[in-house]
Amino acid sequence: MLLYPWVLLVSLCLANHSDEYLPGYYQQAFTVSDSLYSFNLYLGTPPQMLTVYLDFGSADLFISSGANDCAKEVCSIYGNYPYFNTNDSDSFSFSGSFFTSSLSSDSLIVTAEWATDIINFMNVTLDNFTLAYHDNVVAETIQGSYGTSSYISWTSAMCYLGIGPKGLEESVQWVYDGHPGPTYPNFLYSLPGVEPVYSIWVNPGTNTDGVVTFGAIDTAQFIPGTLVTVPIVNQQNIWSEVIEPVYLGVSVNSLTVNLMQPENLTNWINQTLVITSDVAVFDSKANFSLPQTYLEQLGTALSAVWSGSKGMYLMRCDLEGEIVIAISGFEFQIPLQEQLIPLGFSDTRGIGVCGLNIGVSKNVIFSNNLLQKYYVVVDYIANEIAFGSAAKVGEVTSSTKIVTFSGSIPYATPAILYNATQIVSGLEATVGVSYIPTGLVLPATVSSAYVLGGTPVPTVETKLNAAVSTRSMAKVTEASNAAGTTHAPRGQSFLYALVTLLFSLL
């Protein structure tokens, strides 16, 4: 009888001082479509089902109204999506506090209002959960090669669950911008019994489904011995209040391209293009993008030519290889073929011509499609991210388990330059916005022919029948006819250029 209190006390002490195990974890299956990760949750009283998308590039739950113009366009083109009706929820409450935000991948201004309601998924209910509700999207006007255009991206009409760092919360940014407004615990910090850590696995066997695990890692989802950690860096410390990461960003050391010559399949060329100390950020809504100088050197290495009218580099489709971006010494491998879009025509040798599917920004931007072959673990306690080889279902069978943790990521080893990584300040880019600044000097477009590797390519006289997804364009309106330029105008991505070109040829 006398022993029981001491046993209880020792148990409590061990529980309170353990950094290895926490009470639990939560898992949510998702669907992969157009490199976006979606699943359903329930919001309101009575519950309304919503499809939401996981987003590295934000830290709030954004709920869209079906009444906004963007949603109407999306529904008319892609079919009806479930949207939230505030009038049908007895527990929904507006705060009366508004803010404006530029959705990172869209370059669109969103006016939203803070609100609270009940959300439920993964068998957990969060009462009075703070969310951002928006029903007003203003399309950005762009002066393009074919005139002034406005567009609304379909992603702006969807609902997003941000799983970025808490420093990325709109309420935090609003305060930093000089506006009054309280911060709040976002989703990662609201889950009961778990730390703000999560892991993401995309099924390598299908690439159409996956699982996100909050608070833990699943050893059945990665190949043992492959997890490597790199530190998350704080790119913006221009505010004295910022002591934690503002974006999910990492330090870039170099850019290398490894190419196999089509004429000699045994001849590999390894060329380091850039040695730098730059920042790469992760954004689910963005395209893979590189800084201007990086893209120029990559285009040269690929014997590609810049097309101002199409807003991208043109190159031969049969080139095999990979782009390697070193982050804190870890080599992030990007297959070249996955970044090429067939354009439906060939050069004079009969070799197909492709567009290089890489945007331009002031910093490296990693999109979801680059992450799918990796098992990714994000830890906002130790401020580090781990990459491992994703395992197929049933590939790892020995001693698999789900491991909760607080602190450093288990079963992982630091990248070779982990301890040499510097805190980087002064991130200038608006994350996810791809553009080429005015005055960019790129190879001039040849008026009569494009040149790939010294061989002339006939000028395209017919419509492009490129197999390009138009998911990022829900509305395109062409206005005045402006002269073509030899560089891509500000705000114009390669998809935008292709679609505007297609419309001009109709």
Please tell me what DSSP assigns to residue 338.
Answer: G
Of the three residues 231, 261, 290, the one that is the final residue of a domain is: 231
Q: Are residues 327 and 221 in the same domain?
A: no
In a domain, 82, yes or no: yes
* C-alpha closest to that of 354 among 290, 438, 450: 450
3-class secondary-structure state, position 3: helix
In a domain, 395, yes or no: no
Tokens of 488: 């891509």
Q: Are residues 174 and 77 in the same domain?
A: yes
Give strand pairing partners of 252: 278, 327
Tokens of 391: 């395992």
Q: Where are the alpha helices (DSSP H) in 325-431?
A: 368-371
CB 327 within 8 A of CB 282: no
In a domain, 418, yes or no: no
Q: In whole angstroms, give the CA distance from residue 182 to residue 188.
A: 17
Q: Are residues 279 and 224 in the same domain?
A: no
In a domain, 415, yes or no: no
CATH number of the domain within which 498 lies: 2.40.70
In a domain, 394, yes or no: no
Q: In whole angstroms, give the CA distance from residue 401 to residue 216.
A: 10
In a domain, 13, yes or no: no
Tokens of 28: 């949510």
CB 499 within 8 A of CB 460: no
In a domain, 266, yes or no: yes
- Residues 6 or more apart from 98 whose CB is under 8 A from it? 111, 112, 113, 114
Positive or negative, the CA dihedral 368, 371, 372, 375 is negative
In a domain, 336, yes or no: yes
Q: Are residues 225 and 254 in the same domain?
A: no
Q: Are residues 190 and 337 in the same domain?
A: no
- Res 266: pLDDT: 58
3-class secondary-structure state, position 486: coil
Alpha-carbon dihedral 370, 374, 379, 384, rounded to 10 degrees: -70
Q: Are residues 221 and 269 in the same domain?
A: no
Q: Are residues 184 and 307 in the same domain?
A: no
CATH number of the domain within which 222 lies: 2.40.70.10
- Res 82: pLDDT: 61
- Res 184: pLDDT: 80
Tokens of 32: 């992969």
Q: Are residues 115 and 37 in the same domain?
A: yes
* Segments forming the whole domain that contains residue 135: 18-231
Number of domains in the chain: 2
Judging by DSSP bridges, how do beta strands 305-307 and 413-414 pair with one another?
unpaired
First-last CA distance in the chain: 88
* CB half-sphere exposure, 198, CA atoms < 13 A: 22
Q: What is the CA radius of gyration of the chain?
A: 24
Q: In whole angstroms, give the CA distance from residue 110 to residue 431.
A: 15
Of the three residues 198, 231, 264, the one that is the final residue of a domain is: 231
- Res 177: pLDDT: 53
CB 412 within 8 A of CB 228: yes
- Res 421: pLDDT: 66
Please tell me what DSSP assigns to residue 139.
Answer: P
- Residues 6 or more apart from 284 whose CB is under 8 A from it? 36, 37, 53, 54, 55, 56, 57, 367, 368
Q: Are residues 353 and 494 in the same domain?
A: yes
Q: Are residues 255 and 227 in the same domain?
A: no
Q: What is the pLDDT along the chain (506 residues), one digit of tens a residue?
A: 444 444 333 333 333 333 333 458 999 999 998 888 999 999 999 999 988 889 888 888 988 876 555 555 554 444 455 678 888 999 999 988 877 766 554 455 667 888 999 999 998 999 999 998 877 554 444 333 323 333 444 455 678 898 988 877 877 665 555 554 447 888 999 999 999 999 999 999 999 999 999 999 999 999 999 999 999 986 554 444 445 677 788 989 899 999 886 666 556 678 888 887 788 888 887 789 998 889 999 999 998 999 888 888 999 999 889 999 999 999 999 999 999 999 999 988 888 999 999 988 888 889 888 888 899 999 999 999 999 999 999 998 877 899 999 889 999 999 999 887 654 443 333 232 222 222 222 233 322 223 333 333 322 222 222 222 222 222 222 222 222 222 222 233 344 334 334 444 44
Q: Are residues 305 and 187 in the same domain?
A: no
Q: Are residues 199 and 262 in the same domain?
A: no
